[in-house]
Structure 1
Amino acid sequence: MFKRNLLFRTFLTFSIVVFLYSGLLMWTTIAKHYERLAYQNNSLNEQFLEKTSLSIDNRLEVLFTYINFLSEKESIDQYLREEDNEFASFSTLYDDLVNNLFSISQLGFNIGVAKDINGYIVSPDGYFLFDDYIKHLDLEKELYRIKNILSNKTNSTYEYIAGRDKSIMIIKQTQESTQKSIYYFIVFDNGVVLPDSLPNDTGMFVFGNQDSRLFEIGPPKELNLGLPKGRDNKGLVSSEKIDDQTFFMRRSGVIPSMTYYYSVPNTKVTALTKESVSSLIWMLSSLVIMGVGIVFFSSRKNYMPIKQILQNFDDHQDKNRDLLADQNELDFILENIKRINAANQELELEYSKSLYAMQEDFLKEVIFGATDNLAAKLSELQLTDYQNGGTLVILSLEGVSELEANLSEFNVLTLRKRIIQTYQASMNSQLFMPVAIDYRRFCLFFLEKDIREVTAVLEALKNLIEKENAVDITFTIANPIADIARLPHAYNEALSLLDVKYSFVETKIISTKSPAINNREDYNYSLESEQLFLNTLKTKNYGEGIKYIVDLTHDNFTKRQMNIHSTIEFKYALINTIKRSLNYVNKSFLEFSNSHYLLFEKITSNDSGVLEDAFVHIFTRVIQEVKAVNEGTDKTTPERIVEYLQENYQGDISLTAIATRFNLSESYVSRVIKEATGTSFKNYINALKVDKAKELLSTGKFKVNEVSEMVGCNNVNTFIRIFKQFEGQSPGQFMRDC
């Protein structure tokens, strides 16, 4: 038996999770409660501001309509034109005021008219000298301020003076006909126009802007607050939080430069009552108890498979049972898994050579001359059908495609072998037995002895390989053999055809019956002539090579009168030369022809002029490809890997990432880096980081922790350790020595 440490830890872990989740749930509930409370308060405040501002806007609109109506009266014009105080004009103005004031009085307003502070003010209550009128309004304390405002001839359109019961708003207006200013004194009862009370005792109601305030109500300390800039929100209420205050704002529809403000303290979390605390504790306890119960039963249920595994392992442990009694479950399971894995690895080593692999190895031995005890081995490896021979084909794959460029030779072999196996699987029958000689050559051993049937299969296989992997393909077919012992002879025959494949018109599928290129008298191009051109590539005499092709094509296509058969054969001879030239630098003819398909379309013509021009351009491109490789513009895989490291050492780079990027194994990448740099992958990356760090530190512009981050070391202590390992001193000491 074992200690149930795993069961206990599982139960404890999930119990803590249940407790934390329950607490989070309760906290979320409380937060939602206060969020709802804040939303309700904001809604009430918005409704208050909208209702109050609309009410005041309506009153002001009626008032301004009345003032505009009054300013057009003849009595106002006469009053302004008189230099002295003429009581006759006062009477006319008084009558106009009284006759039109009824609706204004209902709204809580009273209006007085004056043109300066030294004369009289005409109001519905009579004619008053300026000082007497202010005293009449019980605003005697504000007299000096009012006189100061008017005597300074302020350009402000609106001025507001608040009183205890009444307030006064002074509107300055310039009459166009006389270009003289007139002042309207709007007197209103605070209790009628302004709100009786605010929803919040600590709130503040203001009508004005950042520069001036017309109306304001609120505690004195709140009135000193600065106002935010009002926003034109198309008559809607908006809000803005400043410090611990929330400002609700609505732009006035009557005075666009003014805004209604209502400011209240931000909603705060208040202390919970005892009843609320009791309810929360009860709910939290219920959740925890229920969760712990669920966790207990689910942990026991989930532990049952582990218990069964332990029991099965324990039943097979015959030794050291007493030592295992105090062992942890996971340690015990891991120990047994390691033991099972070790046994599996031994089995995998025993069976690493499958039947297919052994068949391939056997046929390879036969191809290279091992012919002892063939009948017994054929029977043992289930190859008796091949006893009576068949047809041997060598598949040659020249050049390396873009897909294979970053692969190791082993991986290229694996990829190409898989393509052949895919074809076999698609045919649902084993048409041939493939044997890999190396990644460039495969032997395909067919039971079929009819060359035409074999050629049909090879044609389908050729199309698949060209589709999956753009490399140059050649199949050379040996004559059928009557006995498997003749396999070495067939191999040598197919190999000899491969060596002279460019002597044939068609170089994809070649047999002894394939038509050869003849040296006709009506065109001048032999294998020796081709060799002269290839030598110019090997010796890097590229200009001479281009000149040779220009002369060759002009001599044959223009000067000679070739018939259609000679023209076609000469085309094939030049195409074979192109293939050989590309193979010289391990380039794929298929990819090359696809890259220049417009030029290759031209050579389908049999017109001598078109063919001459097309082949000159094609050979020019070929020479450029060869020149690029010879001059090293195509980087090798090790060079590309090192270049990648130098460009990406600052990031999160690993052998796995590099192997994935270049389609290589980690061990192969590690070996390539070691050979290319003379040190290990990790040391090379650290050396790059330190070199860059020295460059940055020597400028004196960056701190050590900043440089650490810039070179890809997120932990500054790790950076200091690496730097000290390479330079023998800390980054700080290096900076001081610079």
Structure 2
Amino acid sequence: MKKRILRRTFYTFFSIILLYTLMIIATVTLFNFNHFSQQNDYKNQVFLDAASRTTDSKINSVARYASAVSKQPSVQDYISNSNSSLFYFPDIYDDLVNSLYLTDDLNIDVGITKVSDNYVVSQEGYFPLADYLNQIGISKDLITAPHLFERDQINNFYLLEEKFYQNQNNTIFISQTYYHQLDEYLYIFISIPNEKLFPKELANISGTFYLDDNKRSTEEITTVKQSESFEKLTKNHTKDSKILYNIPSSVVNLQYSYLVVETKFLQFEPDSLSVLLLFALCLFLLGGIILYFATIKSYNPIQDILNAFNKNMPMPFKNHVKDNSVSELDYIIRNIDGIQDKNKELEHKINESLSVLQVEFISSVLFGTINKEEIPHKLTELSMEKYNRGGIIAIISIASPELESENVSNTNLLVLRNKVITLINSVSNDLPFIQIPMDYKDLCFIFPSKEAKKVEDQLNKLTSYIQNELSIKLTHSISEPVESIYNFNTAFIEAIELTLKKYTYVNSIDLFPAIEPLLNDESYSYSLDDERFLVNAIIDNDFELAGKLIQNVLETNLFLLELDTINTIKFKYVLLNTVKRILNHYNKSINEFSLQNKGLFDLLNSNNKDDIYFSLNKIFDILFQTFIITFKETSDPTTLRILEYINQNFDQDLSLTDISIKFNLTEGYISRVLKKNANINFKKHLNNLKINKAKELLKNGNYKVNEVSALVGYKNVNTFIRTFKQQEGIPPGEFSKFR
């Protein structure tokens, strides 16, 4: 009882303090409103000045890019010849693409035309003029606007008029170059996404920042004032209580405008202030009365819960109150814990329900762990007779090449998969099915129906709904109809292995082709240790060891072991996963690599062992030639001195700062020298040296993990353990046990 009274008193005084605080804040805010307005005004001016300078810099880079493109030999040939324009477009296209670096990653779209030939060449290809204008969001009316094309026999760089825009998400400039000797015009259309050109964040969330040609500012101005802080910046007040800031562009004949809502606040007359205070006092008294009765009422729900417990529990609360040993909340919490224990018992029973048993049964069929003689009995027992006649197996994947290239944790993928399962269960489905999670990213569906079209329609419905709800990309694969439940195991194994293809090749392929029956007599020989040794040899720049390892793996599995077709496929994709890990280590894309070596990857579609050997051998040789560079091949004296210093001092707490002080060079220069001359990332190279030395010490068996961490130059043993596990796949403690 005392605790309840204290709590009520505390809440009452807290409310009073809160009300007084709010009154003080309101009063202080009232008297500091002018100061706040000035600060807000100055912030808006600073923003416009900074934003205009930044945008001017981007426009200037675009203008320089247009000027540079117009001077390219390919463009000069195009403008000076009357031959077919398409003859010059390939060279112009190459020059366009190769000079895009001048635009500071503005993601621009560039088109070049003489207008007279009615064709445009851009970095996307060649187009008729009307089609290109439509593609970049320009009205076709521009073609018939004489005041825009051939306006003067001079060179111009100007903003496209707003009335010609069809896409308001881009800003379009036109560069006009007039060639007097040829009496010919060259036009360069440059479309810049607004998100790239203009600031992403405004100083005022309700503000509007835009670029115009002194004609778009149509607001009715009441007063105009020159800024005291920034030259050329003007501040205009409008009749609808807005402020329009303007500043001219230093690059083109345009101006930047920033329109914001004028800062507002309640302004009180001295005579009305006393009335306001009296009203606030009455409101405070009313709030105190309401608070008092609300506090009394707040105990009613607790009393209702106690009454419910008293009716249904063997020991009512009133029996505990006599000795004052148990409070109301303690009694409620204790009973809630008991309810939770009963819920756990119910959950355990639910797990033994029919649906769970059906999933367990069909899983045992897919994985081949059930005795075939038990299948008919189980089908009848679990009311699954319709699956006896086979059906269709489908796999929905929530993984994609984009997810593969990102560092997405298994925990996050599991959460995402559970959300997908929840959404699947919430959708009404025309065809029954059983779903089985395969891993963090894939779900297997078994349909008793053999009508592939209906199954395809239902999967499209499911994936479309889930993609819209979760904003993710889903893919699904459907098998050929399976004639009997006894064939589910074989079809499931083929589906799993062949599904791997969709993450290896850029082009889409059929995941369930008609193939000959597969046997599973032996397994391939390629362990995690084999992969780790191969990857470490590449990272350590050991060309000879890496070559021997891959040759041994290929010859053993493709020629010495008599692998059947399915295990040959398994081996092929396991090695391709190794290729992806090597490329990821060097921040390279498997998609880009496969396109660069498309012939070799196309050859991997064959299951002929000679073709697989040739293709994989060449792929790994390309990787070795690309990423393995020995120190002896580096002749630069500065690089050799830096590498020698690193090799002699890697067991210290060495950093780029230490090396920059030692050699009187900047950290950035050292990083560039190591990357350019030795293909070395300083941090990765230093960690490789430390981990290799740590492995030697751990194999010795005379040192503990924390001692090894200190000996190789890690101040924090947890950092050492994390780095070791990332590189070797196991913690250093387990490494020392196995070795």
Fold agreement, TM-score > 0.5: no
Larger radius of gyration: 1
Which of the five TM-score ranges fits, normalised by the shorter chain? 0.3 to 0.5
TM-score using structure 2 length: 0.33
- Kindly indicate whether structure 1 or structure 2 has the higher relative contact order, using CA contacts under 8 Å at least 6 residues apart: 1
TM-score using structure 1 length: 0.33
